[in-house]
Chain A
Amino acid sequence: MTEHPRHQLDAVIHSPIRLSIVACLAAADKAEFAFVRDTVEVSDSVLSRQITLLVEAGYVKARKGYVGKRPRTWLSLTAAGRSAYGKHLAALTAIARLPVKDEADV
């Protein structure tokens, strides 16, 4: 019997907010903190907390800088984050393709 694809889900990326953050960063070389905040539709503090978790997991790199006199925080996925996201996405796709009758068994 093959293992249910839910076992391949990444525990860190599993949270809906963190999945949206990682999906946003996966499509970009880098993105500004405010852009991710607006895209994911969360407050600064919520995003900051989630980014801290992702940084601690080694999935996201945060780099502070300036554009003119304005401070900016640039976020990007690390290689480990990109790999974990790829596996998580594959697991999600596999789950979405499961027959609906399986829902009762989950």
Chain B
Amino acid sequence: MTGDEDVSPGWAAVALAEVDQSTAAVREHSGWVRRALIAYGMASLVFFPAGGLVHGFWAVVIGVIWGVFLVSVVFYALPQRVLVRGFRRVYLRATLWWTALWLAGTAIGHLLFADRVAYWVPAGVVVALPMFAAAARSR
């Protein structure tokens, strides 16, 4: 600072407004994160129960569709130009919870509630929750 620049309250207010503008632009272009997490949660609502209730040939078909979905999410995320602050932490935490719930839910389901819709559908909602929570936090 040379000391001869304009550092008046008015100047500072304009600078702060420009800061807000830049921050808003990042938030506006980070909506894809929320959309991807919601899609992940919605897919879990379908694929988790399907994994426990469908057998044989159709289980393989569902497995392939699940794989295609996961690859699609990756291809959707790759060309995005900005990653909002804190996303990595939120995503990592959500993925850890999601994986733990999926594995525990599957183990419990196959051991104690094989082919019971009354277990697999509500359990699918529980498995999807971390992704919906992460989507809500990414607003």
- A residues apposed to B, CB below 8 Å: 6-7, 9, 11, 14, 16, 19-20, 23-24, 26-32, 34-35, 39-40, 67-68, 89, 92-93, 95-100, 102-103, 106
Docked pose: A27 CA to B1 CA in angstroms: 25
Task: Known A14-B1, A27-B23; judge A35-B29 contact (CB<8 A).
Answer: yes
Measured CB to CB, the closest approach of chain A to B36, in angstroms, equals 15
Query: Which residues, 5 to 41 on B, are CB-close (under 8 Å) to A?
Result: 5-13, 15-16, 18-19, 21-23, 25-27, 29-30
Beta-carbon contact of B7 and A95 below 8 Å: yes
Docked pose: A88 CA to B127 CA in angstroms: 43
Q: Which of B44-52, B54-62, B79-87, B104-112 contacts A (4 or more CB under 8 A)?
A: B79-87
Residue of B nearest to A21 (CB): B22
Beta-carbon contact of B82 and A35 below 8 Å: yes
Choose one: A9, A28, A98; the contact of B26 (CB below 8 Å): A28
A-B contact count (CB 8 A): 95
| B78 CB within 8 Å of chain A | yes
What are 26 sample pairs from A and B whose C-beta atoms fall under 8 A apart? A6-B1, A9-B7, A19-B18, A19-B19, A23-B18, A24-B23, A26-B23, A27-B23, A27-B26, A27-B85, A28-B26, A28-B84, A29-B83, A31-B81, A34-B81, A35-B29, A35-B81, A35-B82, A39-B22, A39-B26, A68-B78, A93-B12, A95-B8, A99-B9, A103-B8, A106-B8
